[in-house]
Structure 1
Amino acid sequence: MDLVAGIDAGTQSLKVVVYDPAGRRLVASTSMPLSLTSAADGSREQQPSDWVAALHACFHALDPSVRSRIAALAVSGQQHGFVPLDAAGEVLAPAKLWCDTSTSAECTQIMAAAGGVARTIALAGNPVLTGYTASKLPWTKTHRPDAYARLATILLPHDYLNFVLTGQRFCEYGDASGTGWLDVRTRTWSTELLRATDPARDLSACLPRIAAPDEVFDIDPAAAAELGLPSAVKVAVGGGDNMMAAIGTGCVAPGRLAMSLGTSGTLFAYADTPVVDPDGAWAAFCSSTGGWLPLICTMNCTVATEQVAAAFGFSTRDGDAHLRATPPGADGLVMLPFLNGERTPDLPLGKGVLAGLDTTNMTPAHIYRAAMEGATYSLKYGFDAFVRAGMTFERIVLTGGGSNSAQWRQLVSDVFGLPVDVPTQAEGAAFGAALQALWAVGRARGDTASITDIADQHVALAPQLSARPDPARTQAYATAYARFLRHLDALTPLYRG
């Protein structure tokens, strides 16, 4: 019986899950850590060769009997990263990542050259925000001129792993939305924004073709041999990690809202038509299934709780006890957890702020709670923009590492005033990639099932992990959230540059 695999290349690790569609169960899961290089200027980079090494290690950790039954796979990857290739397919420089804030000035330059923020949104549906791929090109031209001169192909992280697997250079609409160059309304590259990025060069010549959501490719025989996979394996297009998490949480039809609590935090909802905000309050991305995926992204989520836990010498596994020991609102302690700068709210030069300290709340437990609350309030800030635009939701489906915390699940339910559910498959992005592979290979074989059909059949919820809002706590958090917003308003002028 055929199995499908999902690969998730994240910031902290690369994961592989193998799913049995007939038995509706995971048969294997492996993970390898990834290192990150940081610099004082906000640079955050990884070596693409490390992703490949982790990919090999993950597949070699699988039992050969499992590998031999894999019929199709797809890659989920961290969005916005820039992998520069030369004509021969060699990587020219380290990959600058989504959380890299060293290019914030280049964002401003590109939008100014395009005619301003409003004109940029009119051209593509999105402003060019810090972290988006577009800003990394002029930075590279200035700081790595030799690499820029030899640049032949611009790939995103998931595109690069697809290149390793298939030998072909292609991208897909969902992940391409996060470059800053794709007009999400027409699903075409904006020649004006490419020209604004570099008026002296035709960057369109460096962009790979955009593959259809259900397209499949043959695996390269050499890659199959190195991974111990059958030579007949098909590779689906995959997508950005948020797009794959949308599939893995069943967020593939209107009215569904998913939240990912990972290194970054995201909130996304499926739509059948483009959902563009004239002020750029959210990312108006395409989905990887043929629709659109309006998305809120924060750059600081579990990174904030992990930093606090590390600073005080305890594990995040012990964090729930600290939440139980402290009240909603952390006795007046407020954290703006902008350790990596921030995208929502849009403060790329922002820093973390701890305010409201007194003799009663200066404890590890209170600070840990303030970090978790601050990360959640940043997502609520973006959610409020969805609500102001008329979007309505009945529940939130959680994924990502933060969803393993019972206290965080309850906190989200209370802060948002909505029921929270958690899928049985915790690795939403990797599982979503596996389901996309299942859908795409099925289509290639003549199956007419839609991606919604596939998600409805295979995305199951874990009732024991659900949370429902408590009215008293919801009110307490509303007061604390208002305090967070007051601090945000007061401190924003300090970080506007």
Structure 2
Amino acid sequence: MSLVVGLDVGTQSVKLVAYDAAARRLVATHGHPLDLIAGDDGSREQKAEWWIEAIRSCFAKLDPAFRSRVVAIGVSGQQHGFVPLDAAGNVLAPAKLWCDTSTQRECDEIMAAVGGAEKCVSLAGNPILAGYTASKLPWTRKHRPQAYEQLATILLPHDYVNFWLTGERWMEYGDASGTGWLDVRTRRWSSEMLAATDADRDLLKCLPPLVEADASFPISAAIADELGLPHNVRVSAGGGDNMMAAIGTGNVEPGVLSMSLGTSGTLFAYADHPVVDEAAGWAAFCSSTGGWLPLICTMNCTVATESTAKAFGFNTRDGDSVLAGTLPGAGGLVMLPFLNGERTPDLPHARGSLHGMDLGNFTRANAYRAAMEGATYALRNGFDALLAAGLKFDAIRLTGGGSHSAAWRQMIADVFNLPVEVPLQAEGAAFGAALQALWAFDHAQGGDADLAAMAREHVLIAPGLSARPDPKNVSAYEGHYAQFLSHLDVAKSYYALSPAAGAD
């Protein structure tokens, strides 16, 4: 009769799922929206207290009878954010998020300090890209010197929620690898990368201990009482949202490719050894399961479709009906959906653009399709790098808000020429956090459950939501995708010559 809870602290909302493992069913799903502080300089921030307020709201919606049955909680959080704490555990400033591109200068400074991007890859497995946690430290030193002076602990968003729940400060390897400081090959902090971030301060003293993926900690009695939970609840190590989505889609053993269509778009696969690309064609992350997680991340996915729908006065819930009657290629419209700048490819100063408009094709339906296709093409561009490295996949496991769209599922099957499967539990990150909590709880009780076997048991494929490639569309999309790449090449040249172009 026990339940495990998964919390996903995203950019747009906090989601809670309560899972009955014995019955293999979700008994409750709740959410609460989040605001975003956006600046013209590319800054994207949230107040950490907003996450806590949203979590309180989600638990308040959960039936007290369910709350009394909770035995474990797992937390998924948006990657790369920076939550600065003082020695007493107080938050010193708004959290700079994964989609914050205001720190590109600091990225360049850190990489220059160690000898360039290639040297970063040799030291830690990844260059310092816009949005990574490392660049947020020198930015804070320059722009919020008082906060930087009082800084005692560096936490990521999911770490902060864990700290609130338990009173303990820790990190796990998956989310830690997104800071830019963790050597993913050795799973140790890189002293060279930390020194390049701040040569005058020992940042290692600000980093909490690293714990294994199956670790768990007792919930604070005060927080348990506040949320109406038992005092014996365990809080698992948790992880970044992509790492948790990997668990929630069954991507915990080789051969599975997962795609998440959220505010950002991601592709990721499990590996039992470090998978580092010397050319940095993908992010070489650790997983939150004890392995590794090569990952492609684009910064503009559902944000492109939602922005387009808003501009034309409709809701994305009606998006599939709006698309009815349109064809692959959107009547000649091509969108580069770089509304937040872009990480893959590395174009932090880029801006979105719409090409090919004429008097006949510039309709809301074609514009919306162009946004969806542009976000999909951007992911396909990253996928090509994985294929070039010799990786092979038989199907795509799809999760995130975009997976609810039948039109988008079919588009992905056609653009990637792979069958698409949708896990029954649509909230992949929150569900993955719940499964990690279940696994960690078993280990805390002296068990030896295998996470891969657990995922095979609990991650079920939703009937009726799979999509198969349509050969006619596959052929058509090869030409349309090539056109997207030609526009992308121009954008790369333009922003390389004038990196600040369009940023004002």
TM-score bracket for this pair, using the shorter chain length? over 0.9
TM-score by length of 1: 0.99
Question: Per-residue CA shift, 1:175-206, capped at 9, x if unaligned?
Answer: 00100000000000000000000001000000
5+ long unaligned stretches in structure 2:
500-504
Q: Write the distance in 2 (CA, Å) between the matches of 1:32 and 1:490.
A: 40
- Aligned partner of 2:348 in structure 1 is 348
User: Which one-letter code corresponds to 1:266 in the other structure?
Assistant: T
Q: What's the C-alpha RMSD, in Å, of the aligned pairs?
A: 0.6
1:457 is matched with 457
Matched residue type, 1:314: F
1:368-395 residue CA offsets vs partner (Å, 9 max, x unmatched): 0000000000000000000000000000
1:146 corresponds in structure 2 to: 146
Report the Cα distance in structure 2 between the residues aligned to 1:91 and 1:493, rounded to whole angstroms.
41
CA distance in 1, matches of 2:30, 2:407: 26
Query: Identity, % of aligned pairs?
Result: 67
CA distance in 2, matches of 1:391, 1:309: 35
- How far the C-alpha of 1:446 sits from its partner, in A, is 2.4
Q: 1:279 aligns to what? A: 279
Q: Which moved more, 1:117-126 or 1:438-447?
A: 438-447
| Alignment partner, residue 166 of structure 2 | 166
The residue that corresponds to 1:295 in the other structure is 295
How far apart, in 2, do the equivalents of 1:117 and 1:344 lie?
A: 15
- Counterpart of 2:502? none
| Deviation sequence 1:198-240 (CA, Å, 0-9, x none) | 0010000000100111011010111111111100000000100
Tell me, yes or no, if structure 1 residue 395 matches structure 2 residue 395. Answer: yes
Distance 2:39 2:493 in 1: 24
| Whole-Å separation in 1 of the counterparts to 2:238 and 2:427 | 15
Aligned length: 497
Deviation of the 1:265 alpha carbon: 0.3
Q: Deviation digits for residues 83-112 of structure 1, max 9, x if unmatched? A: 000000000000000000000110010000
TM-score using structure 2 length = 0.98
Partner of 1:494: 494
Q: Is the 8 A contact 1:421 1:463 kept in 2?
A: no
Letter in structure 2 aligned against 1:93: A
What is the distance in 2 between the residues matched to 1:154 and 1:114? Answer: 22
Equivalence for 1:484? 484
1:103 equivalent in structure 2:
103
Counterpart position of 1:67? 67
Q: Bigger shift: 321-330 or 37-46? A: 321-330
The 1-side partners of 2:360 and 2:432 are apart by: 44
Give the residue type in structure 1 aligned to 2:118.
A
TM-superposed CA distance for 1:322, in Å, is: 2.7
List per-residue Cα deviations over 1:239-283 (Å, max 9, x = no partner).
000000000000000010000000000000000001000010000
Q: Partner amino acid for 1:393?
A: F
Distance 1:494 1:140 in 2: 30
Aligned to 1:198: 198
Specify the alignment match of 2:466 in structure 1: 466
Query: How far apart are the structure 2 equivalents of 1:463 and 1:376?
Result: 23
| 1:447 Cα deviation from its structure 2 partner | 2.2
Report the secondary structure of 2:297's partner residue: strand
Q: Kindly provide the CA deviation profile for residues 132-184 of structure 1, in whole angstroms up to 9, marking residues without a partner as x.
A: 00000000000000000000000000000000001011010000010000000
Paired letter, 2:190: S
For structure 1, the residue ranges without an aligned partner over 5 or more in a row are none
Which of structure 1's runs of 4+ aligned residues deviate more than 3 A?
none
Aligned to 1:4, the other structure's residue is in SS state strand
Aligned twin of 2:249: 249
* Alignment-mate amino acid for residue 462 of structure 2: A
Secondary structure of 1:134's match? Answer: helix
Residue 448 (structure 1) shift: 1.8
Q: What is the CA-CA distance between 1:358 and the residue it aligns to?
A: 1.1
CA distance in 1, matches of 2:182, 2:135: 14
Kindly provide the amino acid, as one letter, of the partner of residue 200 in structure 1. Answer: D
Aligned residue number for residue 330 of structure 1: 330
Structure 1 contact 304–375 (Cα < 8 Å) conserved? yes
* SS in structure 2 of the partner of residue 446 of structure 1: coil
Matched to 2:310, the amino acid is A
Measure the CA separation in 2 of the matches of 1:77 and 1:490: 35
